[in-house]
């Protein structure tokens, strides 16, 4: 079954790998391409969103390295404090021209002035005065004689300055005053939420967020929209994701309350869709975190009904069965909008049928375009690339209006852009990454740890044999290397690492654990490769929630297992070099109700659009999915960076969309 991940799976691809003749750099992590000669992904977590880097042919392998960057983070901060970017490094924002102003801020109506004639002036005189200046009456505003005895709204030449025309008319002795027809603007509705100033996607003043500054007004104009509508309490938005922390202070009041508890969990097949990853809670916060409540963040909708549909597990992986079931569940339980911040390159008939069902029932599906910097026109990412009329496919833009370097695009397959870099939102709790340098691990025979240099950069690695790439590993070996971790209080546990393998047929590296501590006793996953096919690079994240969560001394590590067959002398990348492991980290999530986090991704862009769709549905409950999607398209603001690479060439604009209804 395909794994559904927002970063879009990176598969074995010799053409892509040929690009990496020397090394790939992401943040501070540099590895020679030989170190990952063949890419093999079991699963990638959604939690990191996507890394910030310039768009290039190296995006697929950069996606592979995302999990290592996650290990640079130590904790998730409360919403009231500055958050830490999960990716370690913020993107560099560049300036960009915006093709049109968001809301035209004219001081007065072109071609219109108000003229108040003095009491007793005859209609013949007023007509004569107006004719001299080339003016004609639009209408008489003297409906309240005791206030205005003879007030006229008159038409002037739009090419003239209304101030100058008014000044000339006012000189006549029979005119009491003349003035332009000034425009008044509603005061932007700014919520009291303590972290609102960091939510540049809703209101961009050029503020610094996570070390990056942006361009004024590159946002979705949420405050201008809130002047008209902020309450979406009659709208149900299904979050098809890793679940939602429904106890979070900014989400608890906005959770859907159906026949089951807030939604359904298609991973554990129960009615408790608690988020043990973070991704779904973050998405939900952007859509509908409680607004104007004095704490935390706010969503595009201040009030709404968030339906938690858990279809991805605690390391961000799901199945066709879960995704299809989740979409059908949302439709049958009254969802108006589904946010799907997940993707795969597989055109899945089961999921396609569920999307068709949503379309038939008028349910909008907002889908993330994907995060490997590629063109979806050539390499589709689903469900964003399905052509159903109810789908909005969303790319990510940064604080200056650039297409994010990680974002997928497509002139026909991706529709609009939305903020997706340095996005702060709710998080399910405190996430700690327990780094380990292997020096205090218990190591059996033939295991060693040392520094190895790649392209002038040194990495601390656990290896078998000790003299990695200097001698062959042993035959008929079963040897453990493990560390012991205090995971008491953890609600979820996962591990990730990188491995360079050169193994003979029948030999393997086994990720294993022991919940009681001590020598490894429970094998999780076995990694193998045949030496003649080259070295294998593994990257991924594996759940240990059921085995180690809440344990005070859980052992986690590797078994190296070889058979009695002979091995040949090592030849780097192709022969029996053994196993080299780096970047090994244990992730510990402890739920709370106050955490927030700042991450990147088209996963973060999509919920901005889902929130706007909910605002429109709240504004006009009878609007069809076609009407709402048309309003979003027509109400967007043209953005040079999206021209020619999305179907609309626009960034979504909440107020502009409302004006289209």
Name the 3-class secondary structure at 313: coil
Q: Which two tokens stand for residue 463?
A: 């290896």
- Coil, strand, or helix at residue 174? coil
Catalytic entry in 133, 262, 279, 336: 279
Closest by CA to 598, choosing from 476, 464, 421, is 421
3-state secondary structure of 17: helix
Point out the catalytic residue in the list 18, 75, 439, 488.
439
Of 220, 217, 603, the residue nearest 400 (C-alpha): 217
128 CB-near residues (< 8 Å, 6+ apart): none
Written as six digits, the tokens of 322 are 């879960």
Q: Cis peptide before 465, with omega less than 30 degrees from 0?
A: yes
Q: How many helices (H) and strands (E) does the chain have?
A: 13, 31
**Token reading at 134:** 């080339």
Residue 407 annotated in active site: no
241 is catalytic: yes
Cα separation, 218 vs 643, in Å, equals 15
Structure tokens at 377: 């026109």
> What whole-number distance in Å separates Cα of residue 77 and Cα of residue 100?
37
Instruction: Write down the catalytic residue from 241, 415, 500, 507.
Output: 241
Indicate the SS3 state at residue 218.
Answer: coil
Whether the Cβ atoms of residue 376 and residue 348 lie closer than 8 Å to each other: no
Ramachandran category for residue 452: left, alpha or beta (phi over 0 → left; psi -120 to 50 → alpha): beta
Determine the Cα–Cα distance for residues 4 and 241; give it in Å rounded to an integer. Answer: 10
For 501, left (φ over 0), alpha (ψ -120 to 50), or beta? beta
497, 584 in Cβ contact below 8 A?
yes
Please give the full DSSP string across 404-457, using - where no structure is assigned. Answer: PTT--B-TTT--EEEE-SSEEEE-SEEEEEEE--STTSEE-TT-EEEEEEETTE
**Is 279 in the active site?**
yes
Residues involved in catalysis: 241, 279, 439
């Amino acid at each position: 079954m395909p794994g559904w991940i927002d970063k879009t799976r990176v598969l074995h691809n010799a053409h892509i790998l040929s690009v990496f003749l020397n090394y790939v750099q992401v943040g501070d992590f540099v590895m020679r391409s030989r170190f990952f000669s063949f890419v093999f992904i079991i699963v990638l977590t959604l939690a990191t969103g996507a890394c910030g880097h310039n768009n290039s042919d190296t995006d697929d392998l950069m996606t592979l390295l995302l999990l290592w960057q996650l290990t640079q983070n130590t904790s998730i901060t409360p919403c009231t404090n500055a958050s830490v970017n999960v990716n370690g490094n913020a993107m560099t924002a560049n300036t960009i021209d915006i093709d049109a102003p968001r809301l035209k801020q004219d001081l007065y109506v072109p071609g219109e002035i108000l003229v108040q004639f003095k009491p007793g002036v005859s209609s013949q005189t007023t007509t004569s005065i107006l004719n001299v200046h080339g003016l004609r009456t639009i209408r008489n505003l003297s409906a309240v004689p005791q206030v205005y005895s003879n007030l006229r709204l008159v038409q002037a030449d739009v090419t003239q300055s209304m101030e100058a025309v008014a000044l000339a008319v006012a000189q006549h002795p029979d005119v009491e005053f003349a003035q332009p027809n000034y425009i008044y603007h509603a005061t932007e509705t700014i919520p009291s939420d303590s972290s609102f100033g960091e939510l540049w996607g809703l209101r961009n003043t050029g503020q610094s967020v996570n070390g990056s500054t942006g361009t004024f007004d590159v946002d979705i104009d949420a405050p201008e929209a809130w002047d008209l509508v902020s309450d979406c309490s009659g709208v149900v938005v299904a979050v098809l994701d890793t679940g939602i922390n429904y106890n979070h202070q900014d989400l608890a009041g906005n959770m859907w309350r159906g026949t089951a508890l807030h939604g359904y969990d298609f991973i554990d097949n129960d009615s408790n869709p608690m988020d043990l990853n973070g991704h779904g809670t973050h998405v939900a916060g952007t859509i509908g975190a409680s607004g104007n409540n004095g704490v935390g963040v706010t969503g595009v909708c201040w009030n709404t009904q968030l339906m938690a549909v858990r279809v991805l597990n605690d390391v961000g992986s799901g199945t066709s069965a879960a995704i299809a079931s989740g979409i059908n569940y949302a439709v049958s339980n009254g969802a108006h909008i589904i946010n799907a911040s997940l993707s795969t390159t597989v055109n899945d008939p089961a999921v396609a049928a569920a999307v068709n069902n949503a379309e038939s029932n008028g349910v909008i599906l907002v889908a993330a375009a994907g995060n490997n910097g590629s063109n979806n026109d050539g390499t589709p990412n689903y469900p964003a690339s399905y052509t159903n009329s109810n789908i909005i496919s969303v790319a990510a833009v940064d604080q200056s209006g650039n297409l994010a370097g990680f974002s997928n695009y497509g002139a026909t397959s991706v529709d609009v852009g939305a903020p997706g870099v340095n996005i702060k939102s709710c998080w399910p709790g405190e996430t700690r990454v327990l780094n380990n340098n292997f020096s205090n691990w218990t190591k059996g025979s033939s295991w060693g740890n040392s520094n190895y240099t790649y392209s002038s950069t040194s990495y601390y690695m656990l290896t078998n044999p000790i003299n990695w790439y200097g001698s062959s590993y042993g035959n008929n070996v079963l040897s453990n290397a493990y560390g012991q971790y205090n995971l008491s209080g953890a609600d979820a546990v996962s591990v990730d690492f990188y491995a360079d393998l050169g193994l003979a047929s029948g030999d393997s590296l086994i990720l294993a654990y022991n919940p009681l501590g001590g020598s490894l006793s429970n094998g999780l996953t076995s990694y193998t490769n045949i030496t003649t096919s080259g070295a294998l690079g593994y990257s991924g994240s594996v759940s240990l929630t059921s085995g180690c969560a809440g344990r005070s001394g859980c052992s986690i590590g590797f078994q190296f297992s070889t058979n009695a067959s002979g091995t040949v002398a090592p030849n780097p990348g192709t022969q029996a070099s053994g196993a080299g492991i780096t970047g090994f980290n244990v992730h510990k999530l402890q739920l709370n109700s106050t955490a927030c986090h700042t991450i990147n991704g088209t996963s973060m862009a999509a919920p901005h659009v889902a929130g706007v769709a909910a605002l429109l549905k709240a504004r006009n409950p009878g609007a069809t999915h076609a009407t709402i999607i048309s309003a979003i398209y027509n109400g967007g603001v043209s953005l040079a960076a999206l021209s020619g690479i999305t179907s609309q060439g626009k960034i979504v604009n909440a107020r502009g969309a409302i004006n289209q209804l």
